[in-house]
């Protein structure tokens, strides 16, 4: 399941990922991101991940294709999670996205992550 987290800054997309991500949920998020990309040159992504049980194969490949095509349209990404494997994946992803500032935060640092993504 993916829920939207509102941010006052128009160039920030806020998401809360909990459980498994299917194609329908991924497509809904993509609509939000595509709409913001239509009005902003660069976006910032804020993601809270209290629990993540993976993605459907179709959603994964859609995300991979989108990410490879559009990585330069993102300037910052904050991922908030206590799951160590999420932070490990994030460190690898950061190396694949030159020019994108990527930081991970613990769940107890939610407010610091929100502050960082907005400034």
The predicted model gives 95-103 an average pLDDT of 86
Rounded to 5 degrees, what angle do the CA atoms 111, 113, 114 make? Answer: 65
The total number of residues written for the chain in this structure: 119
pLDDT, tens digit, 9 for 90 and up, residues 31-87: 999 999 999 999 999 999 998 888 999 999 999 899 889 989 999 999 999 988 887
Beta bridge partners of 47: 15, 79
DSSP secondary structure letter of residue 92: H
Block residue for tokens 């930081």? 103
Q: Which domains does the chain have, with CATH numbers?
A: 2-118 (3.30.750.24)
pTM of the model: 0.91
pLDDT of residue 91: 80
For the stretch 10-31, pLDDT in tens is 999 999 999 999 999 999 999 9
């Amino acid at each position: 399941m993916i829920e939207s987290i509102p941010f006052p800054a128009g160039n920030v997309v806020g998401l809360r990922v909990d459980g498994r991500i299917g194609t329908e949920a991924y497509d809904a998020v993509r609509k939000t991101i595509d709409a913001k990309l239509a009005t902003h040159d660069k976006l910032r992504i804020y993601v809270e991940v209290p629990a993540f049980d993976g993605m459907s194969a179709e959603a994964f490949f859609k995300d991979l294709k989108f990410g490879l095509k559009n990585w330069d349209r993102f300037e910052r990404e904050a991922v908030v999670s206590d799951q160590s494997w999420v932070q490990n994946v994030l460190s690898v992803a950061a190396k694949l996205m030159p020019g994108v500032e990527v930081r991970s935060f613990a769940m107890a640092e939610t407010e610091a992550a929100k502050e960082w993504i907005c400034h």
